[in-house]
Amino acid sequence: MLTDDEGRVLFCSPTQPTSCADITHARQLGLVKLLADGPSVEILADAGYQGLGAQTGGRVVTPPHRKFKKNAPDWYEEMHERQRKAHSSRRIRVEHGIAHLKNWRALARHLSRREHMSDTVRGIAGLLSHQQVTGLTSAQRM
């Protein structure tokens, strides 16, 4: 799922019936190539997309990777924590956008069959996007 910097839904990919890593799903959908060849945008991603920054010309920004697993120097721990918090602070709107999608009852309970889940997610993403745009235009009129 992609959101803008205000947390509004821009894109929601189809789901897969089996479990799949986020980065693998993005590659299968062709998003990596699209980001590498497309317009210069910055995508704030979570740690599941670690390594895509190099493949997309720095367009995908992920939390910092830990260089020291054990016995890290104190200066490194402090630096790593500052970088991690800075990334998290910038990404919070994205998380809020994802949370709005998950708040819909049809997704919170997963009562439907798995083969219909992709349609359900995309339908709710469309409704949420329309709701966000309608709310935005109503607020602008006032």
Q: What is the pLDDT tens value at each position of the chain, 142 positions in all?
A: 787 777 777 777 777 777 888 888 888 888 888 888 888 888 888 888 888 888 888 888 899 888 877 888 888 888 989 999 999 998 898 888 878 777 766 665 665 566 667 777 777 777 777 776 776 555 554 4
Exposed e or buried b per residue across 49-71, where buried means at least 16 C-beta atoms within 10 angstroms of its C-beta = beebeebbeebbbbbbeeeeeee
Q: Write down the pTM of the prediction.
A: 0.67
